[in-house]
Structure 1
Amino acid sequence: MKILFASAPGYGLTLPLIPVVWAARAAGHDVLLATTAEIAEVSARAGLPVVDVFPGRDVWTDLLATIKDGAAPDPDEPEEYRIARQHQGPFGLFTAAMTEGTIEAGRAFGADLVVYPSDHGTGALAAAALGVPALEVGNRISWSARDLSWRTEHADFLDSDLVTLMREKLGIGDAPVNVIARIDPRAPSMGGLRADEEPADERDGAPWWPMQFVPYNGGSVLPEWALRKLQRPRVAVTLGTVVPAMSGISSLKVVLDALGGMDVEVILAAGAADVSELGELPENVRSVGYLPLSAFLPECSAIVHHGGSGTTAAPLFYGVPQLVLPSFADNPMSAERVVERGVGLSHDPSAVDVETLRKLVRRLFEEDSFAVAAAEVRAEIAGQPSPSDVIARAVAALG
């Protein structure tokens, strides 16, 4: 079977899908990932065949510029791109830019099935245009398309002028999206499904299937220290990839000042951000740039982060308590899930000071309930059907 995977060009939107692509390839299926911008190269480095469906322009850079500076009019832009920039937010922009190229790639590839994240409208439109079944995969720890909050947030887009325009422009018309199933990768106690629970989606009757979340955040040659026996507790600190690009890393100053006064080893994963603005780092802080969380997170006693969906989900997989300082987008909802389940704590980053942050981290170390809850969620995740199980089931459903 030939399976087209379609995903938006963001780390947090694509990386959770990569283990599902691997599962399909390992099962002997031909796979192709349709994305664009920096994520095309990132996905290729994961060992996947990738097609850049919007090579003439960096839509991710366009998105950041739109959010930072507003939607500046451009008379040379196609209508759908202009509408998306002004009214439809990031996912509308991806739909406007990537749908035509994704359909062309799927047609040339001869796709029998399209797999896409719930947020990526391009995948659904491509499946409709190609006349093939679709498998929709949730990729957020804080909410999913089963939740009222998600439906409220996305209702206008799913039935928007932009989608109508794209259907008309690309000749899709009223062709339906034949969704064979929707996947919820959250642990049951974090809002997900039990292994024996598979409700029908009220929109179209498609079943919901549970799936084990498997973190992927890149590969690397491990540094020597990553395998060394720990002499003191290790704490991970990261703001992901979007927050540094949007807001900088100045918010890390108070975090590092707080952890610098504690008897811990701190791993600062700030990606490509220039950490020199933070001044001289404390002696116990190791700045590693972009190093996959999986290289050091399993040995951590805690992680301090911004609340990105993938960054929140990874410590759940490894059973690591977390402190969330939520930024924007779905970050506050991720923080709420963490606190409600008891796997960590949260605080407003604009109001946190050094002493408060130290107290919060000490609580994660000293109060057993956080480690116990994190271990419980880890066990839940391990008991869910694997991506391989889900791919096999999807193929069986197609006969």
Structure 2
Amino acid sequence: MKIMFCAAPGYGLMLPLVPLVWAARAAGHEILLATTSEMAEVGARAGLPVIDVFPARDVWAELMGKVGPGNTPPADEDLSEEEKLVAGSGNPFGVFTLTMTEGTLAAARAFGAELIVTTSDHAAGALAAIALDIPVLEVGNRVSWSMRDEDWRREHSNFATDDPLSRHLAEKLSFTAGPAKVLARIDPRAPSMGGMTAGEETDPRDGAPWWPMRYVPFNGGAVAPPWVFERPERPRVCVTLGTVVPFLSGTSNLTIVIEALGQLDVEVILAAGAADLSALGTLPANVRPAGFVPLSMFLPSCALIVHHGGSGTTAAPLYYGVPQLVLPAFADNFLSADRVAERGVGLRCDAAETDVATMRSLLERLLTEPAFAEAAAAVRDEMATQPSPAEILEKAVALV
């Protein structure tokens, strides 16, 4: 079968799809990943055949530039009619729907796609499936929340295909707008984190079934530094802010965290990619700036992770049973932080309003109180019992 996978061009928006793509290829299907911007190269480095559906501009960089510090939204009179449709949707990811739908549809038609698999925050894939009258499998790429959450779906539904922007694109690209033929929607959350149990639920929007699926972390590949597989002599703590937060607000929020960790008998891995660390000053002797190292490469050796609450960064330590301290920054980070705290797998904290003594107390609790590690291990064990990406892919193909 020819299966096209569609994802928006952000790390947290595309990487959760990769294990499903691998499962499809391992099962012998022809596959194609449709994305753009930096994710086209990231997908290629993951061993996937990729088509860049909007090579004319780097739309991810443009979006980050618009929401970055010091930027104000343009006035209505400065927007094109299509840009006004995006602005009116209240969904910043609408820019991906606008720019990527035409290329996604063209790629699906040329490839001869028989099934489209798309993430829950990327309508371009669904619109291509509608245009070609083929089924679509929607994959939730949020482990702390998903499109099953009524409050989030009501205000942030990114999968709408009957909104003004989608209707405009349907008319522009000469197809009839309407509901997608959704085979199923995939929930990657552990049951105790709000996800599905083994029983099958249906979506009240269109009756499509919800299927649980085991989250399998993919954070990219890298040549492992020697320390990754060495047994740490002291508790190892990972600190990261993902890829978006350092761009939007820098790394200064980590100042108190690093100072507090410098007072503890721990080994700190500062996984900050290419972020500028100058705001942190001289790092304590127990802090190792590691640049980019995939979390899945060294999380199994960690006793704790401190992070911003990104969906993938929240999910990976759940998979490995590692307690978390979440410092939410924006958007769905706060939902992730709430879920982590409610389930007891970690704590949440506003780094901007916390002093070093309080931060140190939180870190010591997470490192010494067994309840957090026990809860994290319980969620890890739950996730291990959920259907694998390979099983889900086989189930979807059988329906097609």
Give 1:126's aligned residue: 128
Q: Which residue of 2 aligns with 1:180?
A: 183
2:385 corresponds to which of 364, 383, 386: 383
Secondary structure at the counterpart of residue 20 of structure 2: helix
Aligned match of 2:61: 61
Distance 1:290 1:315 in 2: 17
| Separation in 2, partners of 1:155, 1:376 | 31
Pair 1:96-2:87 in alignment: no
TM-score for both structures, normalised by structure 2: 0.96
Task: Give the superposition deviation at 1:86.
Answer: 6.3
CA separation of 1:78 and 1:45: change in aligned 2, threshold 3 A: farther
**Is the 8 Å Cα contact of residues 121 and 158 (structure 2) preserved in structure 1?**
no
CA distance in 1, matches of 2:297, 2:121: 28
**Residue 201 of structure 1 pairs with residue 207 of structure 2:** no
Give the drift of 1:227: 1.2
Equivalent residue of 2:34, what SS?
strand
Q: Secondary structure at the match of 1:377?
A: helix
Q: Which residue of 1 aligns with 2:166?
A: 163
CA shift digits 1:67-124 (9 cap, x unpaired): 2323336999763245325653322111011100000011110000000011111111
- Unaligned stretches of 5+ residues in structure 2: none
Q: Deviation digits for residues 321-362 of structure 1, max 9, x if unmatched?
A: 000010100001000000110000001121111111111111
**Partner residue of 1:374?**
376
Contact (CA 8 Å) 2:166, 2:177: kept in 1 or not?
no
Q: 2:14 corresponds to which residue?
A: 14
AA partner of residue 148 (structure 1): E
Aligned residue pairs, count:
397
Q: CA deviation at 1:131?
A: 1.1
Q: Deviation digits for residues 21-52 of structure 1, max 9, x if unmatched?
A: 00001000011000001111111100000111
Shift of 1:142: 2.2
Distance in 1, Cα, partners of 2:248 & 2:157: 26
- Checking the alignment, whether the CA contact within 8 Å between 1:66 and 1:72 is kept in structure 2 is no
**Equivalences for 1:270-289 in 2 at 5 Å?**
270-289=272-291
Deviation at 1:66, TM superposition (A): 2.0
Task: Give the whole-Å Cα distance in 2 for the aligned partners of 1:155 and 1:306.
Answer: 23
Give the partner amino acid of 1:172: F
Supply the RMSD in Å over aligned alpha carbons.
1.6
Asked whether the equivalents of residues 307 and 335 of structure 1 are also in contact (C-alpha less than 8 Å), the reply is yes
Identity %: 62
Instruction: With the length of structure 1 as denominator, give the TM-score of the two structures.
Output: 0.96
SS at match of 1:333: helix
Paired with 2:62 and 2:186, the residues of 1 have a C-alpha distance of 30
Q: Give, in whole Å, the separation in 1 of the partners of 2:19 and 2:246.
A: 26
**Correspondences of 1:144-163 after superposition (within 5 Å):** 144-155=146-157, 158=160, 159-163=162-166
The answer to whether the aligner puts 1:222 opposite 2:227 as a matched pair is no
State the match for 1:241 in structure 2. 243
How much has 1:164 moved relative to structure 2?
A: 1.7
CA drift at 1:252: 1.0
* Matched-pair contact (CA < 8 Å) for 1:143–1:149: no
Q: State the shift of 1:144 in Å.
A: 1.0
Which residue in the other structure is 1:31 paired with? 31
Q: Please tell me whether the aligned partners of residues 256 and 351 of structure 2 are also in contact (alpha carbons under 8 angstroms).
A: no
Aligned equivalents of 2:272, 2:258: Cα separation in 1: 12
How far off is 1:127 after superposition?
0.7
Question: Does the 8 A contact of 1:342 with 1:373 survive in 2?
Answer: yes
Q: CA deviation at 1:391?
A: 0.4
Question: Is this contact kept in 2: 1:327–1:349, CA < 8 A?
Answer: no
Look up the equivalent residue of 2:194 and give its one-letter code: G
Residues 127/97 of structure 1: CA separation in 2 closer, same or farther (3 Å cut): same
